Amino acid sequence: MSDQQRPDRDYREVNFDGLVGPTHNYAGLALGNVASMSHGGLVANPREAALQGLAKMKALMDAGYLQGVLPPQQRPDLGALRALGFTGSDERVLARAAGDAPQILRAVCSASSMWTANAATVTPSPDAPDGRVHFTPANLQSSFHRFLEPATTGRVLAAIFRDEARFAHHPVLPATPAFSDEGAANHTRLAGGHGDAGVHLFVYGREAFGWGSETLPAPKRFPARQTLEASQAVARQHGLAESQTVFAQQHPEAIDAGVFHNDVIAVGNGPVLLYHEMAFLDEAGTLEALRERMSTPLIPVRIPLEAVSLEDAVGSYLFNSQLLSNPDGSMTLVVPGECQENESVWRTVQDHLLAGANPIGEVVVKDVKQSMRNGGGPACLRLRVVLGAEERGALAGRVLLDDALHGELTAWVERHYRDRLAPEDLADPALARETLVALDELSGILEIGSVYPFQLG
């Protein structure tokens, strides 16, 4: 599409953060996610978690970035328990699950939809042949608690990005291991500016089909979540051509060290790709493929193993940062507080990032510890959607953060959330009731209509 056809050149990135749900807890559900595995069983503080998320959103809004918000999901998912054979009243279903299958109860209570980087893959309109913004909710089939998310995610995205002339919604990929899809966490768009034509880097952990793929290097300890076939299918759905895509295999040793998504070891924005030496199996080939396709010079910012070990990368979540564009062409990196607590990581931030020849001019530290204990840093908590001014004007609902919405959401959290949630509290029928009341009110605040199973009947 030519610029004449598309007069709207004011493209901006909107970060849609997931609001942490009232059942946020530590259940140790995610194999290969070191933080989740080591914090399972701890007492969580859902109120603090939600307020930390809202504080991050507000800080970025105040700094001039466009900030959106996506609602949490209905948990406990009693429908999932019923599908697994638990019957009777809601109280009985919860009590029986708590007694017979406590790990299943924990899974259906997870507030994991807060990590909206896994909600979907998004292609902005300048890259799509039909000039619309394309969405595919991720099937998240690699874990039961996350596999429960895509149905509601699809409804929420369709409710907000409602205008069919501007937004296209694709079906979730078949929820089977061959098409295992974890969404935007394994997808990076590189472009000159947000409104320029982009190149899409899809990072996968394994190949499902193809002769000889079983001989490819594979992780030995932890599962590879994303498949090449899933990434290719999403690119196909969105109409991306070969000249717009690069598919790169994640380094199996990184997966075995706890890098369960690419966004735990790399982050891109505009023409900048900040990555760890061990991010890609074929580092040189990946950069070369990107350079061949990009119409603007790639700016790689490489962090070598000798500066930051894989263990420190995973422990600090340095790469799970938000890299944001500023009007003067500089970029701001929003890192989790854990980076400051790690000496070699913090030194790398000063010497390598801030003092290096790259556009990163500022590092902002945010405390999202409640989410971090489950392996969710600042970048996990947000879904990036690049939108033109008209597309932003076409958003339905009240989902772009301003002071009034921030105030209402903060008061809503303070009204409804507990400040203590231990695994044994998940069977409390009062928690399920409190959650429904809170979510019903929230869908009113956000003006998104009926998106929850309890509202759909």
Catalytic residues: 182, 261, 380
With CB under 6 A as the contact rule, the residue among 199, 234, 264, 278 that binds ligand SUG is 264
Work out whether 222 is an interface residue with ligand SUG (CB under 6 A). no
Cβ atoms of 365 and 37 within 8 Å: the answer is no
Q: Rounded to an integer, what distance in angstroms lies between the CA atom of residue 163 and that of residue 48?
A: 35
Integer CA distances (angstroms), 374 to 27, 29, 337, in order: 9, 9, 15
- In the complex, minimum distance from the CB of residue 7 to ligand SUG, in angstroms, rounded to a whole number: 35
Main-chain phi, psi angles of 456, to 5 degrees:
-90, -15
Q: For residues 132 and 111, what is the distance between their CA atoms, to the nearest angstrom? A: 31
CA distances from 143 to 196, 259, 453 (A): 36, 16, 21
226 binds ligand SUG (CB under 6 A): no
CB of 320 to ligand SUG, least distance (A): 6
Distances (CA, A) of 203 to 14, 60, 254: 22, 27, 13
Torsion region of 90: left, alpha or beta (phi above 0 gives left; psi -120 to 50 gives alpha): alpha
Residue closer to ligand SUG (CB basis): 294 or 427? 427
| Site size with ligand SUG, rule: CB under 6 A | 23
Judge whether 222 and 256 are in contact, CB under 8 Å.
yes
- Binding test (CB under 6 A) with ligand SUG, winner from 15, 118, 249, 250: 118
Closer residue to ligand SUG (CB): 28 or 53 = 28
Report residue 331: phi and psi, to 5°.
Answer: -130, 150
Q: Is 381 in contact with 117 (CB distance < 8 Å)? A: yes
User: Given the complex with ligand SUG, which of 381 and 395 has the nearer CB atom?
Assistant: 381
Q: Are 137 and 234 in contact (CB under 8 A)?
A: no
Task: Using CB under 6 A, pick the residue from 374, 395, 421, 435 that binds ligand SUG.
Answer: 374
- DSSP H or E stretch at residue 66: strand 66-70
- Please identify, using beta-carbon distances, which residue of 146 and 169 lies nearer to ligand SUG: 146
Nearer to ligand SUG, 264 or 399 (CB): 264
Would you say 67 or 443 has its CB closer to ligand SUG? 67
Interface with ligand SUG (CB under 6 A), residue from 132, 134, 146, 251: 146
Site for ligand SUG in 149-188 (CB under 6 A): 185
DSSP class of residue 89 equals S
Residues 32-91 that bind ligand SUG (CB under 6 A): 33, 36, 40
Candidate list 58, 170, 261, 416; residue touching ligand SUG; CB under 6 A? 261
The reply to whether 117 sits near ligand SUG by the rule CB under 6 A is: yes
380 interacts with ligand SUG by CB under 6 A? yes
Residue of 305, 293, 258 whose CA lies nearest to 188? 293
Residue 258 interacts with ligand SUG (CB under 6 A)?
A: no
Q: Rounded to the nearest whole angstrom, what is the least distance from the CB of residue 380 to ligand SUG in the complex?
A: 3
d(CA 52, CA 58): 10
263 lines the binding site for ligand SUG (CB under 6 A): yes
Which H or E run contains 382? strand 382-387
How, if at all, do strands 120-123 and 360-366 pair? unpaired
- Binding to ligand SUG (CB under 6 A): which residues in 13-42? 26-30, 33, 36, 40
If binding is defined by CB under 6 A, does position 202 make contact with ligand SUG? no
CA-angle at 207, arms to 110 and 226, nearest 5°: 20
Stretch that binds ligand SUG, among 256-264, 296-304, 324-332, 433-441 (CB under 6 A): 256-264
Q: Which is nearer to ligand SUG, 219 or 375 (CB)?
A: 375
- Give the residue carrying structure tokens 């914090």: 39
Residue 441, token pair as written in the block: 């009110």
Which residues of the chain form contacts with ligand SUG (CB under 6 A)?
26-30, 33, 36, 40, 110, 112, 115, 117-118, 146, 185, 260-261, 263-264, 374-376, 380
